[in-house]
Structure 1
Amino acid sequence: MQNSPASQPSRKPDPTRKPAQKRPTYSIEAVDNALQLLQLLRDGGALRLKDAAAELGVAPSTAHRLLAMLVYRGFAVQDENRRYVPGPAMGVGPAGLSWTRQLRDLAQPHMELLSSRLDETVNLMVRVGTKVRFLATVEGSNVLRIGDRQGTVMRADKTSGGKAMLAELEPGMIEQLFRGHNAEIGGDTIQASDYPAFLRELDSIRGNGFAANFEGTEEGVSALGMALHNRHGQVVGALSVATPATRFRKVFDAGLVATLRATCRQLEVDIAANPAEGA
């Protein structure tokens, strides 16, 4: 039984606790609004213009000007749905959003089963701008295996799952992500000489339904990835199977593509049956 407030013992002051922060008397409204937008992007991961205006209590035109400046400085970027998401200057969005937690929970049993079938490491990832964040990993039991990547951030155009997700974007968005101003700020620009080959690779991925990474992110590591979709056909993440490069051909020839595709389809059934924001 809990004590009532009147009967609770008195507490000694905690010297480590700081007083509540007060709003500065010299605050600049535009700066404060921009900082609030940064917090919203950090904590929410995605923000629409009308929601930004409502949160700040300003006109949509004012919110648009603030967001445009964040985009210019690399703190935000617009995705294919015209939402603003954290840009390269902020790193990537949080993995703790409610729908990503749900996605991780839904994916876990499928990942465990897939890993046990292949005895290889399976990863779940989501894309934010030009980066992917690994949400979960299930390691294989081989002595020589790929380790846990949960929480790791990598370039989307280098990972198998990232390329599988990028392949489903419109060409204009690909160009904005990797040839635009934000890519230059974040160091993610694909050079003009390499860009046509990258587009051809994405075309091939669309045709095959999967993407491969042959030591593109780490020496000695190869992987195969496929995108995950919600009930509306929108990409919400990707699964990848990572192996030591020396073992990849053996695993591939043993039916890796069919096995991973079956797992993705089964997981997509669960995603469709448990709709949530973003999934």
Structure 2
Amino acid sequence: MLQTVQKAAQVLRLFTPHQPEWGVTEVAAALEIPKSGAHALLRTLAAEGLLQRTAAGRYRLGWALFELSQTLLDSSALLRAARPVMERLVAGWGETTHLAVLVDGQVLYVEKLQGDRALEIVLSGVGKRLPAHCSGVGKVLLAHQPWEVVLGIVERTGLVSFTPNTIKSVEQLREELERVRQQGFAYDQEEVMVGLCCAAAPIRDESGHVIAAMSLSVPAYRFYPNRQRLTTAIVDAARRVSEELGYYQEDWAWENGKRSRSRSSVPGISVPT
């Protein structure tokens, strides 16, 4: 039964925006299983509404998945906490803000809000994926993974180069992730798209684990002169979401010769000048 469930999940993962339709023979070849097994899997998933069969006998994703995705979006504590904060960011800056998680070693965008001053960003969008090494949110998410996990991701996906600024070596990636981990935020400086930059910061759950990342994406000519303010804004926004999810760190500070307790959500944050 477990193998059947695994194969069913593998079938669903085959469907992408680049190839939204599959036939029995193609599925059998992709999963290296007999055609009879592929046919049985596709037919069963279609009967449950997870796939739909076309008039040509091929298969597409079914509407039951849309229903399930809406349930996920409506019930997600992360999204409930992040949306109001993202809305305030967009209202204040007029730029685009993203919320992303790490799935299969890639950045998966789970929310995107675009402001009235924002540059159109076609590579990102709710449900879209990008390699993690070249985006601000991706660097944040990778920086809080064990290095062995990061190496495994690089071995599987490589270091795809989008622009001359994209990280091109494992050593360069390691140095960048260490810097991100130490300072508490990350930049994408025209690494995915020439003319586009972003600042990103981690979101933590109540146990302190980094579960997501949030970013502000800004045209390069507006980013560089405002980098300090943008960094402060996104770090504060991510901190607020983390607090909504129950995360905080109590720090001790000395005031007037007495030790007092202060509340700080994300340790190690510094803002460059």
- Residue 230 (structure 2) aligns with: 256
- Residue 141 (structure 2) aligns with: 165
Of residues 197, 200, 206, the one that matches 2:175 is 200
Question: Partners in 2 of 1:170 and 1:131 — Cα distance?
Answer: 15
Counterpart contact for 1:139–1:146, Cα < 8 Å: no
Sort the Cα spacing of 1:116 and 1:163 in 2 relative to 1 into closer, same or farther, 3 A. Answer: same
Question: Partners in 2 of 1:168 and 1:159 — Cα distance?
Answer: 15
Counterpart contact for 2:99–2:110, Cα < 8 Å: yes
Larger strand fraction of residues: 2
| Residues 207-245 of structure 1 deviation map (CA, whole Å, 9 limit, x = unaligned) | 111111122222321111111110101111110110112
- Residue 57 (structure 1) aligns with: none
1:231 aligned counterpart, secondary structure: coil
- Residue 209 (structure 2) aligns with: 234
Of residues 116, 135, 141, the one that matches 2:116 is 141
Superposition TM-score, scaled by structure 1 size: 0.59
| Residues 59-114 of structure 1 deviation map (CA, whole Å, 9 limit, x = unaligned) | xxxxxxxxxx99xxxxxxxxxxxxxxxxxxxxxxx993748833222211000001
Instruction: Give the C-alpha shift of residue 119 in structure 1.
Output: 1.9
Of residues 137, 153, 168, the one that matches 1:177 is 153
Of residues 240, 250, 253, the one that matches 1:266 is 240
1:110 aligned counterpart, secondary structure: helix
Of residues 120, 124, 140, the one that matches 2:95 is 120
- Residue 39 (structure 1) aligns with: 8
- RMSD (Å) for aligned C-alpha atoms: 3.0
- Residue 151 (structure 1) aligns with: 127
Instruction: Give the C-alpha shift of residue 41 in structure 1.
Output: 7.1
Question: Partners in 2 of 1:42 and 1:229 — Cα distance?
Answer: 32
Question: Partners in 2 of 1:145 and 1:189 — Cα distance?
Answer: 27
**One-letter code aligned to 2:219:** P
- Residue 49 (structure 1) aligns with: none
Counterpart contact for 2:185–2:200, Cα < 8 Å: yes
Counterpart contact for 1:158–1:217, Cα < 8 Å: yes
2:187 aligned counterpart, secondary structure: strand
Counterpart contact for 2:135–2:192, Cα < 8 Å: yes
Sort the Cα spacing of 1:263 and 1:41 in 2 relative to 1 into closer, same or farther, 3 A. Answer: farther
Sort the Cα spacing of 1:42 and 1:122 in 2 relative to 1 into closer, same or farther, 3 A. Answer: farther
1:132 aligned counterpart, secondary structure: strand
Question: Partners in 2 of 1:127 and 1:143 — Cα distance?
Answer: 25
- Residue 265 (structure 2) aligns with: none
2:245 aligned counterpart, secondary structure: helix
1:217 aligned counterpart, secondary structure: coil
Question: Partners in 2 of 1:124 and 1:210 — Cα distance?
Answer: 14
- Choose between structure 1 and 2 for higher RCO, CA contacts under 8 A separated by at least 6 residues: 1
2:76 aligned counterpart, secondary structure: helix
Of residues 79, 82, 93, the one that matches 1:104 is 79
How many residue pairs were aligned? 186
Question: Partners in 2 of 1:117 and 1:232 — Cα distance?
Answer: 30
Question: Partners in 1 of 2:137 and 2:174 — Cα distance?
Answer: 16
Sort the Cα spacing of 1:196 and 1:263 in 2 relative to 1 into closer, same or farther, 3 A. Answer: same
| Residues 173-227 of structure 1 deviation map (CA, whole Å, 9 limit, x = unaligned) | 1112213xxx0xxxx1249x81111101111111111111122222321111111
